[in-house]
Amino acid sequence: MLANKIAFFDSGVGGLTTLHVALQQLPNEDFIYFGDCLNAPYGVKTTEEIRNLVFDAVEFLQKHNCKAIVLACNTATSAAVNQLREKYPNLPIVGMEPAVKLAGKIHDSGRILITATDSTLRGQKLNELIHDLNMDDLVDVLSLQELVLFAEKFEFDSPALFDYLKLKLEPFNWDEYNSIVLGCTHFNYFKNQLRKFIPETVHILDGNQGTVNRLKSLIKEGEGSRQIEFYLSKKADPDYFLPFLKYLDNQ
Ligand code: DGL
């Protein structure tokens, strides 16, 4: 059997935002998407719990004939990517990290707000990255953990969502900011909604394009046709993820 598919993994529906970018740019590949929706959100769990879930997921995906695995989840990457690479030295594993480097590159003045899950924000990986880039004095951090559940529930337009965003974003003086980094793939669904609270002068950045670029650099081009096999850990309709991809098409 040829190892020919590219696997995308996330705690739930967030990684579909990364897959969505890959689908546009890799027309000759076939994909597998696994969302661990039964166990979402990961961001409120301990590192050890997240690591165990990610190991189980990658073991599952490994049985499906993959030439690369994308951890389309900042939280999973933070908790488990180093250990996974040790366990699977021959498998290209693309991790995701909040786009702090990109924010640093386009930065000319003002501060940078990094948003992510609780777990990613307290993780060593992100804190080392900020430190290594010499950006400690430039960044602020904000957990938007609840957005994960809003996305999982396909709740993109409710009063409760806007109340939450208002509560979290209104306290900031946005004149002081250059960019906001969406350091969780679930947050990418909410770019338009975030814009209602954040002026156009502030860049809204995410790591999807960087991740797809990295993936492209690691694989040999395939002979597929954008077929996608979907798997999820909870019992649901086989077409469960399609409305999410459709939602992204319309953004
Ligand atoms: N989508 C995830 C991320 O990029 C994790 C969200 C969660 O399950 O808490 O961090």
Please state the rounded mean pLDDT for residues 11-28: 98
Q: Convert the pLDDT of each residue in 133-163 to its tens digit.
A: 999 999 999 999 999 999 999 999 999 999 9
pLDDT at 1 over 60: no
The Cα–Cα gap between 143 and 115 comes to 5
Report percent pLDDT > 70 for the chain. 99
Ligand 1 in reach of 10 Cβ (< 6 A): yes
Q: Convert the pLDDT of each residue in 73-109 to its tens digit.
A: 999 999 999 999 999 999 999 999 999 999 999 998 9
Q: Which SS3 state, helix, strand or coil, does residue 215 take?
A: helix
Please, are residues 64 and 3 in contact by the beta-carbon 8 Å criterion? no
Ligand 1 in reach of 148 Cβ (< 6 A): yes
Categorize the per-residue pLDDT at 3 as very low, low, confident or very high, splitting at 50, 70 and 90: low
Give the residue ranges of DSSP H helices in 88-144. Answer: 100-106, 118-122, 124-132
What pTM was computed for the model? 0.97
Q: Is 37 a catalytic residue?
A: no
Please, are residues 139 and 111 in contact by the beta-carbon 8 Å criterion? yes
Q: How far is the CA of 178 from the centre of ligand 1 (A)?
A: 24
Ligand 1 in reach of 14 Cβ (< 6 A): yes
Categorize the per-residue pLDDT at 236 as very low, low, confident or very high, splitting at 50, 70 and 90: confident
Q: Which residues does residue 31 pair with via DSSP β-bridges, in sequence order?
A: 6, 228
Q: Is 184 a catalytic residue?
A: yes
Q: Which SS3 state, helix, strand or coil, does residue 247 take?
A: helix
